[in-house]
Copies of this chain bind each other. A is one copy, B any other.
Amino acid sequence: MPNEIQVTVIGGGSTYTPELMEGFIESWAELPVRRITLMDIDGDRLAVLGGLATRMVQAAGVPIEVTTTQDQRRAIEGSDFVISQIRVGGMAARLLDETIPPQFGVIGQETTGPGGFAKAMRTIPVALRIARDIQELAPGAFLVNFTNPAGLITEALLRYSPVRTIGLCNLPIGTEMRLSKRLGVDRAHLSLDWVGLNHLNWTRGAALDGKDVWPTVFEEELQEARQRSEDGWGFSASLLDSLGMIPCGYLNYYYNHDRMLAKQRSAGQTRAQEVQDIERQLLAMFQDPGLKEKPRLLEKRGGAYYSKVAVSLLSAIANSRHEIHIVNTQNRGAIPDLPYHAVVEVPCVIDAAGARPLITSPLPPAVRGLVQAVKAYEDLAVEAGAEGDRQKALQALLAHPLTPSFDAAQGLLQALFDAHRQNLPQFFSAA
């Protein structure tokens, strides 16, 4: 396979694409991709990003052919890897996801809580259509899902489609980078004991070339926390000390819930608006025919190491190296406290067979209930989104730990469904 690899990027008009291209170019020696097809429903962005991608490849002198298309089926046919990085409804929809929930006293966030729920409802039918096309036109291909909420979308794909899907997030690599830098070591030598769900996980151990370095790593984390201001983003030393683990950033919405909610309510603009501004600038830059590499501004867009995660995963599969990556896959008993079919984010062996989770120890009770509660919400949300079942949609919102009451769940469902109606075909049948 390595000599003939074809990669398809659904949502190829994303401003993330140059980052991804850079990755493929830099890793060409170990992952000799022959063709990259960028697919997007937005022809204008596709033209801009396709142009830049082609210039990047040429400037680097690697023999990758870049093509663009608005036809999903054509894009997928014969592909070995399909990367999904879509955003159904675009930034406008994200803005609604971030601003509607706070009106009900609930965190408004792209992936966590009702915002992530609404994004999932819009995305699941589109993701399943991608999977159906793969099943028909590129059977055997891997679907690498970056689309958020990544765990939930991956679970929908694995439950409603036979396509070999792996869910990716850049949090694990980001944490590995941050901690290895602090230790002054190369990331390749550090392995983390990471457990939980996507955007709801904890680092509970670290080894450097197999030697336990957790006491050092954790002590440094405590030190850093002690210097942190008490009311901002990030966890207090007391919280870290109480858990004995390092929570991922999204856990701020739980552990510092009131503070985060207050900030959202007083904030002048949301993250969606910031990102919209950055994207406008980026797209303008990308059109410059002189630009032949990824501009530095892209780093403000978020998604750091995004290409590294994706390209190294593809390479581990294509070369059937038995590397350990932290990805989203079916539990199958790896975390004994969660259902067999639940998608979890844990260290997995990656090779040509895909991702196989490593057995891990049970969740400590300090976080077990929260993970189980969010997973129950995800179970319901996946089914609601795939089946267009309003009853399950309401149950999902009610089951989410951040929803404060049934009234709020009901109000939120109504408001989110009204706002996103045109992107929720499964719930609104044609007149």
Contacts and interface: CB of A to CB of B under 8 A. Distances in A.
10 contacts: A209-B320, A209-B352, A322-B322, A333-B336, A358-B359, A366-B376, A369-B377, A370-B376, A372-B372, A373-B401
Contacts of A380: 365-366
Contacts of A407: 256, 258-259
Interface in A325-367: 332-334, 336, 349, 351-353, 356-359, 365-367
One complex includes copies of this chain to the number of 4
A405 B333 contact: no
Interface residues on A, range: 35 or more
Interface of A: 105, 189, 191, 207, 209-211, 235-236, 238-239, 242-243, 254-259, 317, 320, 322-324, 332-334, 336, 349, 351-353, 356-359, 365-370, 372-377, 379-380, 391, 394-395, 398-399, 401, 404-408, 410
Q: Which of A236, A256, A336, A376 has the most CB of B within 10 A?
A: A376
A210 B377 CA distance: 34
A209 B356 CA distance: 16
Contacts of A375: 369
A370 B309 CA distance: 34
A373 B366 contact: no
Contacts of A255: 398, 405-406
A256 B259 CA distance: 22
B399 A366 contact: yes
